[in-house]
Each structure stands twice: as structure tokens, then as C-alpha cells.
Amino acid sequence: MPFYKDYIYPYFVDILGDPVPIRKVRQQIIPLAQGKVLEIGVGSGANFVHYDSTKVDKLYALEPNPGMIRLAERQQRKTKLNIEFLDLPGERIALEDGSIDTVVSTFTLCTIPSIVDAIQGLIRVLKPKGKLIFFELGLSPDSEVQHWQKRLEPFHHWLFQGLYLTRDIPALLVQGGFQMEQMGAGYVAQFPKSLSYCWWGTAILQSGVRHS
């Protein structure tokens, strides 16, 4: 349904995706970005205002949905950031190997269709001492909440255009070649528990991880 995806869903994400508890985490982690930054699935640009523009030389803002890019361009005007939009999926990052200091993903690894390929792409573009900043939704440790996450996933997968409620993102990051540097976790925001279990923090490359 291209009309829903391009015109309704972007406004849903814009309105629902930044309540105060989520914004507080964004304020805590996004200023850690520095140098050449790649943000995947920037959506309506909710993170843009939280970057420290004195530390960010350039922000590659990857987003495949043109409706999202239209909203993100409005946010861009509120910042001094040097932003280049890349209208590509995160599984096909058109940047050179080892060229990026910081990769940012907030609520994108929980949405992106091919997360394993996306993680390999992030590892490929990161410099050896590069950092991933993440804030993602996913599988609760509570079995009762997991039960509801499994039941509700198909509906939310449609409503939020690909959102998964049952991914264990930290485990996938570690399997893919990242090593956690710092991580917080818990139910964030006033949404039902099935929709609000999150992890946030930073990760670096495991030593010896291969650039393909």
C-alpha cells in the first residue's frame, strides 16, 4: 500500500516516535556521535536536533521512504548539521569501507527487513575504532510480555511498516561482530509493555572482525 507507507506511516512515526521518555534517551546517546556519521532509517529526523554539530563533520542520513525524507528535511532546517540524504535501504549502504566514525540506529534495526545484512553493512563502513550508537525496541525478557509480543507482532508489522517486536537486537549485534561498550535496557514510554521494551547504548567492533 504505497499511499499508506509514503503519506500516513511517516506522520505516525513522527507523532508517536518521540514521547518524553524516548526523547530523554535520544538526548543522552545522540551527542556521543562524532566525525563522519551514518544514521540509518532517519525517519522524520527526530535525532537531528540532538547531534552536537561541533563534533559532527558530516551526517549521511539514510532513509528509503520518500515521505520520511520530506519530514526529515524540515528537521534539517532546525540544525547546523551538514546533512546528505541517501535514499537507499540500509542493506545497501553506498559508502566506502572503513569510512565512518559513528553509525546511529534508533528504531531501525527493529524494522529493517534483513537485519543480518544490515549489520554486516554497518561493520563494513565503520572505521576500525568506529562506534555504533543504538536505541532499539524488541524482545522483552518477561515471558508473559513475550507471549503478547508474538501475538501482536503481525499487526504492528503492518501498522509500522516492517516493525518486529520479537528481535533480540543485542544478541544479533554480538553475533554480527559488535561488542557492547555500554548498554541500558527497560520499558521506555507509556506504551504497553509489549511495545516498549528497549535497549540503548554504544557498541564497538569485536577485535579481529573482518571487513568484507
Ligand X SMILES: C[S@@+](CC[C@H](N)C(=O)[O-])C[C@H]1O[C@@H](n2cnc3c(N)ncnc32)[C@H](O)[C@@H]1O
Report the interface residues with ligand X, using CB under 6 A.
13, 17, 40-43, 46, 62-65, 68, 89-91, 106-108, 111-113, 160, 162
Least distance to ligand X from the beta carbon of 161, Å?
Answer: 6
**Which CB, 112 or 145, lies closer to ligand X?**
112
Least distance to ligand X from the beta carbon of 93, Å?
Answer: 9
**Which CB, 90 or 138, lies closer to ligand X?**
90
**Which CB, 43 or 177, lies closer to ligand X?**
43
Least distance to ligand X from the beta carbon of 160, Å?
Answer: 6
Query: Which residue number is nearest to ligand X in terms of Cβ?
Result: 43
Q: Which cell numbers hold the place of 119?
A: 549489520
Task: Give whole-number Cα distances, 82 to 52, 54, 133, 138, in Å.
Answer: 12, 11, 19, 31
Query: Mapping DSSP to helix (H, G, I), strand (E, B) and coil, where does residue 147 land?
Result: helix
Least distance to ligand X from the beta carbon of 94, Å?
Answer: 12
What HEC string does 98-130 produce?
A: CCEEEEEEECCCCCCCCHHHHHHHHHHHEEEEE
Query: What is the chain's percent helix, strand, coil content, to nearest 5?
Result: 40, 25, 35
**Which CB, 106 or 140, lies closer to ligand X?**
106
Residue among 153, 123, 121 nearest 138 (CA): 153
